[in-house]
Amino acid sequence: EVNRTTVLQAYQQLKDEGLIASKVGKGTFVLPLQHTETARIPVVRHKPIDEEPKPSVVRPPWSVLFSDYSNRFTYHDIASAERAQRGDTIIDFATGSPNPADIPDDLLRSVSIEAFESREFDGQPESPIEGFDELRALLAEHMSTRGVQCDVRNVMVLSGSEQGIDLIVRAFVNPGDCVLVEQSTFFPALQTFRSADARIIGVPVDEHGMRTDLLEGYCARFRPKLI
């Protein structure tokens, strides 16, 4: 079997080399030989003698260099969702972006200044890769009030929920694994699952979220790797 992405990359490479052309509603056709030969004839332009010759630039075949993971990531879907959110008549929850008017700019600015002034900063990262130790301790303490028993070593500070989802998917999800999600669910999470070539199954929701009364049946039928 040949992966669908490989076929699409091959078609794109042929288009880049001027060997085929596609027409909407008709298909893809091999270009005539004289057309390709003409297209490959270099154009000679006379330059002044004192002008320095410019090195030729060879464009890499990007269409075949990107990994299957990258090609499965449809960035244009995220971009279109963000553009839709800019309108005044639409409230879009797909990207999870907060209302800019609700962000306490003055408070964040003063807290940041206080944090920098309270410590000697030499431009070098102080905290380990897991995050700032004091912050991790506070987060572990906060989680204990929510019924989650965890130690500081179980806490990792991330840049956002998308990074957390991406790390989990890379660690646990293989191509073809089933992932159960709410209908509807967090839009960037779907992009991450699709990039991992996971099988995405939606579970109906009610006013409390995913319907747990249906979840056992879905698990027995699809045997998900991740919920």
Q: Are 185 and 202 in contact (CB under 8 A)?
A: yes
pTM tops 0.85: no
pLDDT tens digits for range 42-84: 555 555 656 666 677 777 877 778 787 777 766 555 556 556 5
Residue 96, pLDDT above cutoff 70: no
In the structure, what pLDDT confidence band is assigned to residue 125 with cuts at 50, 70 and 90?
Answer: low
pLDDT digit string (tens) for 189-198?
A: 888 999 899 9
Mean pLDDT (whole number) for 25-50: 60
Token pair for 152: 């500081």
d(CA 157, CA 15) in angstroms, rounded, equals 45
pLDDT band at 117 (very low <50, low <70, confident <90, very high): confident
User: Model confidence at 213, in pLDDT bands (50, 70, 90)?
Assistant: very high
Question: So where are the chain's domains?
Answer: 71-121+158-222, 128-157
Region 87-112: mean pLDDT is 76
b/e sequence 22-36, b meaning 16+ C-beta within 10 Å: eeeeeeeeeeeeeee
